Amino acid sequence: MRFPKTEIILFSLAGVTGFLVDADMVWTLTREGVDPITAQAIAFTVAVTVTWLLNRRFTFAQHASPNWLREWLHYVAANSIGAVVNNGVYVLLVLSIAFFSREPVLAVAAGSLAGLVFNFTASRAWVFRSR
């Protein structure tokens, strides 16, 4: 499978937008008294929906399904697994390599990159596949 640069760039920009939505919502909700776990659950749902909409409209527009609910559910499922990959890489690095336990922000970067690769691949192959 070929991975065009334009798709990767657009997918990454959608991801950055999703991160900003997620972070802003967590910050806002926790300032309003919502507990951090509930705030993150709400923020993730909104952020993943924003990235789905952006990717559906711009990154993979030619492969968007008319069954948008099914597509959204697949996208949420894929990105939920991607979150596990992201955090799994972080935890693995921090717990197994002393360098990363001293510099955890680099483990965050590695986890984010692993999550990006997983989410892009899953989105392209499963959610927005050629029909």
Percent of the chain topping pLDDT 70: 97
Backbone angles phi, psi at 90, to 5 degrees: -55, -55
The reported pLDDT for the residue numbered 2 is 56
CA distance 129 to 48: 18
pLDDT above 90 (res 96):
yes
Q: What is the mean pLDDT of residues 5-21?
A: 96
**Residue whose structure tokens are 């910050």:** 27
| Average pLDDT of the residues of the chain | 94
Helix (H, G, I), strand (E, B) or coil at 130: coil
Number of domains in the chain: 1
Long-range CB pairs of 72-75 (<8 Å, 24+ gap) are 74/126, 74/127, 75/48, 75/123, 75/127
Backbone angles phi, psi at 93, to 5 degrees: -65, -45
The reported pLDDT for the residue numbered 59 is 97
Write out the residue range of the structural domain in which residue 60 sits: 5-127
The reported pLDDT for the residue numbered 3 is 62
